[in-house]
Amino acid sequence: MSGGGGDERSVAQKLFAIAEAFSAREELTLTQIAAAANLPVSTAHRMLASWTEWGGLERADSGAYRVGIKLWRLGARRTTAERLRAIARPYLEDLLESTEENVHIAVRDGLGAVYLERISSPNAVRVISDVGTRLPLHATGVGLVLLAHAPIELFDEVVASKPRQYLPNTITDPKALRRRLAEIRATGLSRSVEEMTPGAFSMAAPVVDAHGEVVAAVSIIAHVERLAEPQFALGVRMAARGISGALGR
């Protein structure tokens, strides 16, 4: 067993040792983390539980651990997010060129969506989203996509949090929200009209990794007068597919 009873490191030093374990790999099992940090498995498990609850780490479907979005937001090393942002940038630029509005990519952080990148044209509708901004899942296009593909337990948490109705079109009723999420899963597209920003609509589509897991969402936010223009739905789907394909390489 790693980490004998004579370990005189402080709690902070042990946490730093766990963090350092992720410098070589994006995902690690409990046993691998304990060995890399020279800790007993029971100690590592206890510390990992605290980090995961806070959001510094997150669990993959396989049960392995990976660095969470909160550490990325604090400026710590977030390999997955940095890679995703770099891969997404050219696709977002193409989407901007074809729409001349706001384009984003976001990932889930608890009950919110955190924007990793946003680029806009000078004439784009004014929005409150910016890089690092965290907005609620139920009221944003990217958030609805991420919620639609999240575990059902997260839906229950959103409902229990009594989601805020920002505008008359914001859906907060659990039954209506459930139907909305089912539609997003069926169509692969979220369309939101004046749910967070007056005078604006959003279209968003999921980004999947090499394992088929939804890891992000791409969106366009544009003037509501342009809602019927066909390039928005097509463009956001193509951008999401392009980013997904690049992630899989």
The domain limits of the chain are 11-76, 80-248
pTM higher than 0.85 for the full model? no
pLDDT over 70 percentage in the chain:
90
Residue 219 to residue 233: CA distance in whole angstroms: 10
Task: Name which of 5-19, 22-36, 110-124, 233-247 the model is least confident about.
Answer: 5-19
Average pLDDT taken over every residue of the chain: 85
Q: What one-character-per-residue DSSP string does 14-33 give?
A: HHHHHHHHTTT-SEE-HHHH
Between 111 and 3, residue with greater pLDDT: 111
Q: Does residue 238 register a pLDDT over 50? A: yes
Q: Which of 8-17, 52-61, 228-237 has the highest mean pLDDT?
A: 228-237
Terminal-residue alpha carbon distance, the chain: 37
pLDDT over 90 percentage in the chain:
36
Average pLDDT of 109-134?
78
Q: 221 pairs with which residues across the strands?
A: 102, 202
pLDDT in tens, 21-43: 876 677 889 999 999 889 999 99
Q: Does residue 132 register a pLDDT over 80? A: no
Predicted local distance difference test score (pLDDT) of residue 4: 47
Q: Does residue 120 register a pLDDT over 70? A: yes
Domain 80-248, classified CATH 3.40.50.300, yes or no: no
Average pLDDT of 156-162?
90
Model confidence band, residue 204 (pLDDT cutoffs 50, 70, 90): very high
Average pLDDT of 200-218?
91
Predicted local distance difference test score (pLDDT) of residue 1: 44
**The architecture CATH gives domain 11-76:** Orthogonal Bundle (1.10)
Task: Name which of 84-88, 138-142, 186-190 the model is least confident about.
Answer: 84-88
Query: Which residues in 91-108 are b (16+ Cβ under 10 Å) and which e?
Result: bbeebbebbebbbbbbbb
